[in-house]
Structure 1
Amino acid sequence: MVAEHVAVDAAIAPTAALIADPTRAAMLTALLDGRALAAGELAALAGVSAATASSHLARLLGGGMVTVVSQGRHRYYRLAGPEVAEVLEVLARVGARPETRSLRQSRQARLLEEARTCYDHLAGRAGVELLRALLAAGCLVGEEAFEVTSEGRAGLGGLGVDVDAVRGARRRFAPACLDWTERRPHLGGALGAALTCALMDRGWYRKGAVRRVVEVTEAGREGVAAIFECKDPTLHALVT
């Protein structure tokens, strides 16, 4: 039987090979919170020597998976963009969950499930519930991608989100991002990032002690609870 050549639209094998290596996968996962990390930090997180880390980072850089900025003697790496984070999140969703082998790992897993960043937007149970509340309040409409209603524009504006400016960003506006722990969508894209930034700026959320984990603050508990229970589509009572 003669094998039939199948034309492809994109060469996915080289990219998949870059992610498939355990050391490079660990480095990419460490960068999933959107922050830039030094090569030495990534080496320590991946459990390899500085020389080995440098070799792997060169491959990731050449493959367009990361970018690098030099500051003095240090080189800081970050994911090349949200599309790389999306690929990693999808792989996490379809892959097997790692077995927790200690109380510390169990606690970290629980915190990640509760609230974390998915590159630059809120994910985990907190992100899923935030999207649910915004849809229930009539601020957003849609399923696989969302649009802001007139009521939502006023409410999000009160929270500090300039919807028009966000729409001009060079990335998808407001896609549904299927959460890998909750198996339900949270709000992604430029709008998800802007809303998360606004909640951070208001002091409602802060970076947690565990990488990627975010925590609701005392100041934010009332405001976040009000969003989740909101019956007023304008969200006006929350932001005045």
Structure 2
Amino acid sequence: MAIYPITFAQNYFNMIPPQLNNALAVFKEDIAPLYRKHEETFDLESHHGRFHIIRCLLLADSLYRYYESNSISLYIEKSFYAIMYHDAMREDNGIDEWELDSTYCCYKYLRSKGYEHHFSSTTSNIILKANEANLEEQILYDVDVLDYNRFFFIPEEKHLFKDYKLKFAGPNDVSGCTDIDARNKIIQLAQDLVQYSETLLIETDTEQLIKQMVEHYLKIKPF
């Protein structure tokens, strides 16, 4: 398995887990250009661009922190890679007709970095969301649902978010978690991240964008 040196933001990201630090480094160096291209073509508001992916990574980190603190284990690196690639091959903001392409793109990337077939295959297939009993897959599903708040970032529209679709701490959480307070906190975090990112310019360079988003996240993370 390939080991990525943590070369990004070592000084000011020492408060986040190494798994997230590594994912952000990989995203910045290798994957963000795919989403930057989205923003320059069909996705001018970054609905499926860098902003979306960074918020999803931060939300996944909070879910991971919660599960880990409650002795619920998951392979968060798999979720991180699936998150980073799940919209990679989109060509517009409508129904995602490119999930298979994004899955294959993720698989090829992991193999090119030295990961063996089983890890690369099981990780990339998370994007297809075909195994509802898989907690790593639930992480991707939930952060995508949570970041739907990007369409309701005005305070008066918060009530339009369909929270019943969220699995975390609900009747369909595969971990069995039923912590309603934690569920409300993660929804609030999603709303806060969206509201903050709305203050940032689409032209912001990726390293600066990650820096600003993470610094804000560290101030408001619930777990």
TM-score (norm 2): 0.29
Bigger fraction of residues in helix: 2
**Greater C-alpha Rg:** 1
TM-score (norm 1): 0.27
Bigger fraction of residues in strand: 1
- Structure with more relative contact order (C-alpha pairs < 8 Å, separation 6 or more): 2
